């Protein structure tokens, strides 16, 4: 995909999706992984807020649109193959819909090494 706003070509593949990693710009912590369509990327570039594509709901969404836990995008980086993005962001509240700061709050052994920063039942009523 070549867009006038893009200096390099991106490979969204046959399904028009590209993975985007959200990384805390200050700490370097990886907060989440989601998918982006060309439209979601354009919305992110236009607003400065992270937009993604929900494969489950089959729709574009702004991170924090319902919870208020928005991601302010400071920089967008592209991997060497042009098929993955890194959003360097400032996260307001938690990134994880389960209430944690990061979606990567547990180890493969099931140990939780993060704290809950909000109550999802109150946020997603």
Q: Which tens digit of pLDDT belongs to each residue from 54-109?
A: 999 999 999 999 899 999 999 999 999 999 999 999 999 999 999 999 999 999 99
CATH number at 18-95: 3.10.20.810
pLDDT at residue 121, rounded to an integer: 86
Which ranges constitute the DSSP H helices of the chain?
38-47, 120-123
Of residues 51 and 9, more confidence is placed in 51
**Are 52 and 43 within 8 A, CB to CB?**
no
């Amino acid at each position: 995909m070549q867009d006038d706003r893009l200096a390099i070509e991106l490979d969204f593949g046959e399904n028009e999706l590209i993975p985007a990693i959200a990384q805390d710009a200050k700490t370097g912590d990886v907060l989440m992984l989601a998918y982006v369509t060309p439209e979601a990327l354009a919305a992110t570039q236009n607003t400065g807020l992270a937009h993604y594509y929900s494969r489950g709901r089959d729709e574009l969404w702004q991170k924090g649109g319902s919870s208020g836990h928005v991601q302010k995008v400071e920089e967008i980086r592209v991997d060497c193959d042009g098929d993955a993005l890194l959003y360097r962001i400032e996260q307001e509240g938690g990134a994880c819909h389960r209430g944690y700061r990061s979606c990567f709050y547990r180890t493969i052994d099931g140990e939780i090494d993060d704290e809950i920063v909000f109550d999802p039942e109150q946020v997603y009523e």
